[in-house]
Structures are given as structure tokens and as C-alpha cells.
Amino acid sequence: MRQWTATAFLQASGMFWESFALHAALALDVFTPLAAGPLPIEELARQTGCSRRGLDMLATALCALDLLRRTEDGRCELLPFARQYLCRGEAAYLGYMVGHHRGLVPGWSRLAEAVRTGRDVCDTAPPPTENRECFLMGMRNVANAQASLSVPHIDLGGRQRLLDLGGGTGAYAVRFCREHPELTATVFDLPASRPFAERVLQEEGLTDRIRFVAGDFTRDALPSGFEVAWLSQILHGLHRDTAAEVVRKAGQALTDGGLLLIQEFALDDDRMGPLHPALFSLNMLVGTRDGQAYTQAELTAFMHAAGADEVRVLPLELPQGCRILAGTIRHGR
């Protein structure tokens, strides 16, 4: 249990200062011009379209955060983490995910209102293309990191046809296909995701093994005949009844004996934690009409209702309270 002190509490209350400094640095693309070498603050300000005064203050904060350093002659220079993760064009670039986080700020600033009313406080209109790109490509970054910890340890039992439901750019489908050369996959997601998914699949050289099918999994019929269904982080945005129905449809898309896999930020059954799923549930409160984080027991119940037996949590150590549940579909149970 955390042992709070007044100092620690106030530090936690003010941690948004660090977040906003990071958001601003990525929004202004401060790091990319430095990839070619250190620059005087005046030149960096010119290249980023910033005032010298403002950028110099931000650069000082970024130095204090160990992302930049100042050389002996006062130029700004990247430190290794920033070079690898914060420069546009790098394979591990995190700017898309930071952009997504920045887009969540208006909703989180109204959290008290959302708690009081029990309703979301965000505009429910479709996001602009830029925001959609930040979300999808940011999710790709997260999925790539997470998949390296999970996919190599998931036994598909020789199954060869996978449905990546709500799979966005297909990052997990890509990793599964890399791990299993005999596997083919279908990514099912909204039409707005298609150009991003097709770009990624082209980059990965897997267009012959992974196809994209456009649709809304809450409304549309799903393709069928799959042996594995992978549902990663799609249920928390849905009402409980809708989430259960989506899991049921995923079960129907599988052949008898098919493997149903659900990955979610799962709450403990006593609803005392973990911290990230608990905070993520608040993120769903401010940003979705009916979403929430579900407990492990609730996710298990969804799977049982969909015809899965032998439901179990895979013994994997994953970050941020993430859990993967697996079950075998038995039609006509």
C-alpha cells in the first residue's frame, strides 16, 4: 500500500506540469531538428517557429527531464532516449501516442463534471484525420511493444486463421504472422482505419497474408471460419451489454475448438485496483458514453456466455495491469 505524505500528494497533484511540457515539445516537434546535431537555441527556435524566450524555457525543462542537454557552448543536444523515440521518422517514434494523450486533456479537465453526472464530457463527433492518425499510429507503438512481451508466449496450437477484431493498423496481426509462418489474418475495423492499416501492411510486406475488412463490430456481421479471435483493448469502450454481444459475435466467428483471446486492462474482482485500469476506467468515463474497465470475472463471464470453456488468464507479466484471457469455443454446449 502506498504511504502518502503531504509532499508526495502535492507532487502527484502537480505532475501535469511534466506531462504538458512533453506534450508541447512533441506538438512543436522540438526534437527532430536536433537529430542532425546540436543547435543554438536561436536556430532551433527558427526551425520550429517558436519564440526564443519560450523555447529556451521549454528546453531547460527538457534538460531537467533528461531528454536534452546543453553543450559547453550552449547548444541544445539530444540525449539517447529522445533520439530513439522522439524524432519523427524513427521506427520507435512515440509522438503519435503523445498526441493522443494531448487530445485527452480537455475531457480530463472536466473529470469532476463527468463523475457528478455519470456521463461523458467530450464531443462524440468523428475525430479529425490528424487525431485519428495519432490514435491509430500511437496504438501501433503500444501494440508493438506489448506484442513483443505476449505474442511469442501464446500457443495457437497449430491454428492457421486469425481474426484481429478492432485491430486498427494490424500491429498484432503482423506480430502473430511473424511468429507463425503458416498463419493468415483478417483485421476487422472501421473504414477510417483502412488507409493506415494498408500503409502498415505494405510497409511490413504482409499484404499477401493479412487482409483488412471494413466494418463496425458493434453493428455489422463478422466474417467467419476463423480458428483464433484476438480482441485487444476494444471492450472497455463499450456498454456492458454491447461488450458481451461483441464477445458472443467473436465466438460465432470461430470454428468449433477455436481459441478466443481477450486482452484488456482488467480490474481486480474486488475493484481495489490495479492503478492503471482504475484510472483508465475514468478515461472511459470522460471520453465514451458507456465505457469502463471490466473486472477479470466480468470478462470471464462474457467468454463463458459466448460458448468458451477452459477460460484462463495467461501467466504473463504485462505492464499497466494488462491481462490476456484465453478460452476454447465449444459450439452447441
Cell 457528478 found at: 116
Q: Are strands 210-214 and 161-165 parallel, antiparallel or unpaired?
A: unpaired
| Conformation bin of residue 12: beta by default, left when phi > 0, alpha when psi is -120 to 50 | alpha
Q: Are 180 and 186 in contact (CB under 8 A)?
A: no
Which of 23, 153, 236, 239 is labelled catalytic?
236
Cell 488507409 found at: 195
How far is 159 from 14, CA to CA, in rounded Å? 49
Q: Are 30 and 48 in contact (CB under 8 A)?
A: yes
How far is 115 from 94, CA to CA, in rounded Å? 30
Cell 520507435 found at: 92
Q: Are strands 226-232 and 161-165 parallel, antiparallel or unpaired?
A: parallel
How far is 174 from 172, CA to CA, in rounded Å? 5
Based on the residue annotation, tell me whether 236 is a catalytic residue of this protein: yes
Q: Are strands 210-214 and 184-189 parallel, antiparallel or unpaired?
A: parallel
Residue count of the chain, please give it: 333
Residue 150 in 3-state DSSP? helix
Closest CA to 151 of 161, 143, 140: 143
Phi and psi angles of residue 69, each rounded to the nearest 5 degrees, phi first: -140, 160
Q: Are 206 and 179 in contact (CB under 8 A)?
A: no
Q: How many Cβ atoms sit within 10 Å of the Cβ of residue 312?
A: 12
Query: What positions carry a catalytic annotation?
Result: 236
